[in-house]
Structure formats: structure tokens, C-alpha cells
Structure 1
Amino acid sequence: MADIFLHPGDYHFGNAGTRLQTVLGSCVSITAWHSALRIGGMCHYMLPGRRPGDPGPPDPRYADGAIELFLRDVRRANTTPSQYEVKMFGGGEQFPELDIPAPLDVAGHNIEAGMALLERHGFALTVRDLGGTGARRLIFDIGTGDVWLRAPDRARGRDGNTA
């Protein structure tokens, strides 16, 4: 089995025989898995989006760029977003003792952007573990669609759902 570690701003789409891993703080990861074809991918984005009008190809450092890459690979596989099991993780506050003003709440904006983009493009979110505090470690097996989540020493996510 190929093990691929995603660093902040990375994206990978592949098939069975691949296991993707990452560690999240305020960043967000989305996994998308097609059960019949046993293909899927994962992103690790750091920010909600680029400034409007910024040129260049889709950039997976941003939620909008990561979703563009998912859409590209979904089309290449002759599939549609609704055929994928989608899970979303992260957006944890890393400094809960600080009073961060809402406009500077990167974790919260990352969550909002990802949820809105998934809905806008027809991806059905099946599992989420979002918000709270501290780090999360994820492992995604593209062959089975399983996602393992380890979140030591953190408060529960905002919605309480788990993988």
C-alpha cells in the first residue's frame, strides 16, 4: 500500500492501494470516495479562498481551489459529485485562550467556506468533525473509504459528528 502524507496545501486523488494521511489544526481536510470505483481523494486546505481575480490554476491551499481540483478529477473519472461519500474534518481553534475577532477567525471561515462550496457543487457531506480546539490526525484508505480520526487532548467538535 502506498502511504502519502499531505502537508498543508496538498491535494491527492487516486485509487485503491493508497492511504492518505495528514495532521490538522485550523486547516480543513475533505475526503471524497466513490465506493463502486474505489477511487477518491483528500485535500488539506489552509484558507477559505484566494482574493477575487487572482490569476492562476486551482490552488489547493485554498478551499475554492481544492474543490476545483476535486471537480476536475470527478469529471476525469466520468462520475458526478453526488456519487461520492464526502467527509470533512478540522477547523480547530489553536489558541482558544485568545479572543479572536470574527473577521480573523481562520478556522471558522475555513469551515464555512468548505461547507458552502461542497453544497454549491453537489457534494453530499456524510460525516464531519469540525471546530473545537486542538489538532486532529487523519488517515484515509481509498480502497475502503475508511477514515480514521485521532484527536488527542482536544475539545469536541462543534457538531459532535465523528467519522
Structure 2
Amino acid sequence: MGQQDNLAGRELERLAQVIMPGGWAVERERPIATLLGSCVAVALYDPALKLGGLNHFMLPCFNRSAGRSEVDALLAGDFAMEALLNAMLARGAKKARLVAKAFGGGMVVSSLDRSQIGQRNVEFTREWLAREGIALQASDFLGQWSRKVVLDPRTGDVFCKRAASTLAISQRIESREQAYAETIAAPKPKGNIELF
């Protein structure tokens, strides 16, 4: 990446809407950014509309069980990918024109490495895109580092900055991912109203 690209990436990051695990956004103008550890982010882009979207998921699939909120489902790739695709289509995108770029699956969180969650997220991502017929134009997967990802929805460019897995970065990512893992595992109190 040249100096000009670095400057463009930093300016986009400054202006970006940041999404957290379980989040997604579709934009025409405003950049979208996220920070990844073992999670995966997929950017979808419709070049004819100049419309882009980005999601961030923590697990490949949502496992339904008693007391689990449907909101937790967006933490899983199967729901997060459908939510992003449907949001793109609702804004006028055509599935046949969509292209994808995907990032993440790093092994930076020691407590999650044993389950190979990063590898499972990457495999899910490749399989889902292939099944839906959406070309994966670029990817940066796996490794021992975290990633800052910024999508420019005006062009479909995605800037990916790798960060060495320092203790501080790992702890920050682990804290975020662990907080979401706990919300998934915790039973929901009875009597709550869930919106759908």
C-alpha cells in the first residue's frame, strides 16, 4: 500500500461508522469500519449502484435453544449474511451484480483458539458466498493478528490494516468477543417482549 493509499485509508477510518460484533450497515457515502479478531467481516458491493455494506459476525451458525434471543442470531454468520444481503437488496442492489471481499478469522484470542472459531468462520464465509453465487474478489484470512477493516461504499475499496497481536490489542478484542459470547450463553429472563 502506497503513501497515498495510507492517507486515504486513514481519512476513511476517521469518518467511518463503526460496527460491532453482530452489526451490519449499508451505505452509499459514509465509510463503514470494524475491528476483527477471530470474527469475520464481509463487504458486499454493487458496482452499478455504488452501494456497499459490511457486517461483523462472531460464529458461523446460530444454534437455537430455549431462552436465546433472536437478537443473538446476528452474531452468527448464517443470520448476519442474510441480514446484509437482504439490506442490500432492499436498497436496490441486484444479487447477480454483487461482489464480496472478506476479512478476519485471526487467532488472537487465546481462549477461542481451542475451538478453531476463526477457521470455522472462514470456511463458513467461503461456503456461503459460493452457495449464493457471489464472487469473492479479495480476502485476508487467518494468521496471528487482528485487523481494522474500512469499506469505502462509493468505490467498493476495502482497506485492511493488520495489527500485531500485542497483549493490549488481544485483551481489547477478547473483552469484546467474550462479552458477546456471554450474551449468547446467558438465558434470557422470561416475560420479555422480543421484537421481530
TM-score, structure 1 length as denominator? 0.81
Give percent identity, aligned residues only.
28
Root mean square deviation, CA, Å: 2.6
Deviation, 1:3, is 2.4
Select between 73-82 and 18-27 the one with higher mean Cα deviation: 73-82
Deviation, 1:57, is 7.2
- Alpha-carbon separation, structure 1, partners of 2:109 and 2:92: 43
Deviation, 1:78, is 4.0
Match of 1:158 in 2: none
What residue identity is the alignment partner of 1:25? G
> Which of residues 37, 41, 54 in structure 1 aligns to 2:53?
41
Deviation, 1:85, is 2.2
Higher helix share: 2
Deviation, 1:58, is 8.9
Aligned length in residues = 150
Query: Which runs of no fewer than 5 residues in structure 2 stay unpaired?
Result: 1-11, 166-196
Select between 3-12 and 80-89 the one with higher mean Cα deviation: 80-89
> Which of residues 136, 140, 145 in structure 1 aligns to 2:147?
136
Query: Which runs of no fewer than 5 residues in structure 1 stay unpaired?
Result: 155-163
> Which of residues 67, 73, 76 in structure 2 aligns to 1:62?
76
Deviation, 1:92, is 0.3
> Which of residues 124, 127, 131 in structure 1 aligns to 2:135?
124
Match of 2:20 in 1: 7
Deviation, 1:70, is 2.5
> Which of residues 5, 22, 39 in structure 2 aligns to 1:27?
39
- Alpha-carbon separation, structure 1, partners of 2:30 and 2:139: 22
> Which of residues 125, 136, 149 in structure 1 aligns to 2:160?
149
Deviation, 1:10, is 0.6
Select between 59-68 and 27-36 the one with higher mean Cα deviation: 59-68
- Alpha-carbon separation, structure 1, partners of 2:150 and 2:113: 32
TM-score, structure 2 length as denominator? 0.68
- Alpha-carbon separation, structure 2, partners of 1:99 and 1:130: 15
- Alpha-carbon separation, structure 1, partners of 2:24 and 2:127: 19
Higher-Rg structure is 2
- Alpha-carbon separation, structure 2, partners of 1:112 and 1:65: 16
Match of 2:182 in 1: none
| 1:9 and 1:61 in contact (8 A); partners too | yes
- Alpha-carbon separation, structure 1, partners of 2:22 and 2:126: 18
